[in-house]
Chains A and B, each alone.
Chain A
């Protein structure tokens, strides 16, 4: 992962009147990453995104996107970065293809390319048959796909999506997320996606940053985050036995990669970094224990996420 950094912020701070929206943020995103930007509402995600694009000026600190200073050269940043705001709007009385073509023209695409690119892009997001319909007739999900088309048409190096899934039905969410992931892979496009819904981010992102109250609490791959925050145990195995003896506990403890064994009345909770159910079962049998039930829970990031929220 010796990729080039595409986004780099140094002590980025934004203060509104008296509240600090973004507090000394040092964010590094590598080219080709699918970065999930997590945090509750009002954590400063949107403000950070606006600063990345040069749509608002930082109070202090610096932002670099693909080597351009977003504050000084916003136009250069905007020509290589596509952005879908949270509440995306289209000219409702104009057709989907006109809305897209307008964006294409603002990106200085020559007129003969515009038409071709519009048709292609609408095809990709599955709106080709709706090209000549006014956007006012579109559903929320279709609008979000059109918004993604808005990004694709300029073929950017970075796509920044602010809450792209808000207000769409679960199936639509999955379709959209899969589409984003697919395109990102095909075009080797970096994606920065903000959300407060963890499972959505988890679905496609290989890097996650959790932001709370203007600060980036943690950043890393989902697996890495799991290991760091839960002392390495990503799985919890719950055992029910006819009888619990110290011998059994010791036997389980001797199994490789078991991190902790806790006794809760007639149950045992085993923390481990891998799925060790077969090994544990054998250990119990060998220690003459009788196993009644065995359940495994993988630690969803949800728990990590909630844990950070509580800490913050």
Chain B
């Protein structure tokens, strides 16, 4: 256990004092500032919201709206964090975790010490997760602090809990990217190759997955001008199901439920529409318990997938012969 702590401490220190850590913290800082003051920043939108409380429920969870409003731009804080920031952090901390140590010869030095081989692997993984958690926490605190001084509305206890839940989900989501990057760094010998491979997966989910899910939906349930509502519903349903193969989509869906209880995710809307044929769309906010219940499958998935990735790389790493040449 002591060995694990030693590796953990060293890796954590490495992440923080290395250039990559400093750069990523810079990105975190910029993200926070942009989320508040940016052209589509929360400040403008919330002011607008508060003055014209036209929408029912909009006045609720004002504090959370700091994180979710997108205003005119489509690049909301939530979208930016889920599609770019967390994947980049996860990939940056994991893509060279194992193979760079192998190439530089430090791994055989480490493994000739009286520690279990998995200690090195676990130490790196947990240090990575901890760094991601620290970064997410600081970004949330930064935005909260800046936002609080601007709008002057303190968060309610439920809002605090929802933000905490967001950090937990974000960390698990980060663990997915970290695990994926470490998987590639275990299997691929060269650092450049493993970095590219991980980035390729990220871009695939980010850009191509949407096209693919549309394609699948249109093949399975084609729609045209004369389609019935049912046919359209079915098309959208398939599209959503296919999109869920992408962790980015999955995370966005989950965090929308957590941070924007007044909004409905596409699939929730679909369900409501199907049940009530568009008649009585409820626009009240979802209680915390219901929110958690809604995203329970997402939480489980985000625990299961990183665990699986971790297990595969762990297995490979444990069986490998470590040579220094």
B-binding residues in A (CB < 8 A): 46, 50, 53, 55-56, 75-76, 78-79, 81-93, 102-103, 105-108, 147, 150, 154, 162
Contact = CB atoms under 8 A, between A and B. Distances in A.
Given A105-B6, A108-B2, A89 B109 contact: yes
B316 interface: no
Contacts of A46: 323, 325
A67 B325 CA distance: 29
Interface in B93-145: 101, 104-116
Given A87-B105, A89-B105, A105-B6, A78 B112 contact: yes
Nearest to A147: B109
B322 interface: yes
Contact of A78 (B2, B105, B114): B114
A81 B112 CA distance: 8
B114 A106 contact: yes
A75 to B, nearest CB: 5
Nearest to B5: A105
Contacts of A55: 108, 111-112, 321-322
B113 A103 contact: yes
Nearest to B116: A75
Given A85-B105, A89-B105, A93-B18, A106 B113 contact: yes
Given A46-B325, A50-B322, A83-B112, 12 more contacts: A75-B116, A82-B112, A85-B108, A86-B324, A86-B325, A87-B105, A89-B106, A89-B109, A102-B6, A105-B2, A108-B114, A150-B109
A93 B114 CA distance: 24
B3 interface: yes
Interface in B48-88: none
Interface in B143-159: none
Instruction: Kindly list the 10 A-B residue pairs having the minimum CB-CB distance in the complex, ordered from nearest.
Output: A89-B105, A85-B324, A79-B114, A83-B112, A89-B104, A106-B113, A89-B106, A78-B114, A85-B108, A56-B321
A102 B116 CA distance: 15
Interface of B: 2-3, 6-7, 10, 14, 18, 101, 104-116, 321-325
A107 B108 contact: no
Nearest to A85: B324
A86 to B, nearest CB: 5
B98 to A, nearest CB: 13
Nearest to B322: A55
A262 to B, nearest CB: 45
A106 B106 contact: no
A89 B324 contact: yes
B29 to A, nearest CB: 23
- Among A81, A91, A92, find the residue whose CB has the most chain B CB atoms closer than 10 A: A91
A106 B105 CA distance: 17
A71 to B, nearest CB: 13
30 contacts: A46-B323, A50-B321, A53-B112, A55-B111, A55-B322, A75-B115, A78-B114, A79-B114, A83-B108, A85-B105, A85-B109, A85-B112, A85-B324, A86-B325, A88-B105, A89-B104, A89-B107, A89-B108, A89-B109, A89-B324, A91-B14, A93-B18, A102-B6, A102-B10, A105-B2, A106-B113, A106-B114, A106-B115, A108-B3, A154-B113
B99 to A, nearest CB: 13
B324 A87 contact: yes
Contact of A91 (B3, B106, B115, B325): B106
A83 B321 CA distance: 16
Nearest to A83: B112
A109 B112 CA distance: 16
B6 A106 contact: yes
A133 to B, nearest CB: 16
B3 A106 contact: yes
Nearest to B19: A93
A77 to B, nearest CB: 8
Contact of A106 (B107, B110, B323, B325): B110
A106 B116 CA distance: 10
A103 B114 contact: no
Contacts of A103: 109, 113
Q: Which of B6, B108, B116, B322 counts the most A-chain CB atoms under 10 A from its CB?
A: B108
Nearest to A75: B114
Contacts of B10: 102
B119 to A, nearest CB: 8
A85 B105 CA distance: 8
Nearest to A106: B113
Contacts of A90: 106, 109
A297 to B, nearest CB: 36
B324 A88 contact: yes
A76 B18 CA distance: 34
Nearest to A94: B14
Contacts of B14: 91
Contacts of B18: 93
B323 A50 contact: yes
Contacts of A106: 3, 6-7, 110, 113-115
